[in-house]
Amino acid sequence: MSFQTFAASALIAAGVVTSASADPIKASDPQSVLAYFQDIGAPATLTEDSVGDPLIELQYYGTTFAIFFYGCTDNQN
């Protein structure tokens, strides 16, 4: 696992812990992950990877991250 993938995972986990009253962040719902990063002010866009699965690209504290969603059924969940 690369550092950036690990760091992105840690950021998501931290968001889940610190925002209990906010909407839940679910890996099966890429829009909820995107909304989390947009809510904290990180420029993020939802696109697709080379096989059509969701991909979130974002900037966080000057670092570029990509969040891949593997194992999606019909490129959705």
Query: Which of the two residues, 56 and 4, has the higher pLDDT score?
Result: 56
Look at residue 21 in the predicted model and tell me its pLDDT.
Answer: 47
* Residues 26/13, Cβ–Cβ less than 8 Å: no
* Residues 19/32, Cβ–Cβ less than 8 Å: no
The pLDDT tens digits of the residues spanning 48-76 come to: 999 899 999 999 999 999 999 987 777 66
Look at residue 12 in the predicted model and tell me its pLDDT.
Answer: 60
Amino acid identity of residue 35, one-letter, is: A
The pLDDT tens digits of the residues spanning 7-24 come to: 566 556 555 445 444 678
Q: What is the pTM of this model?
A: 0.66
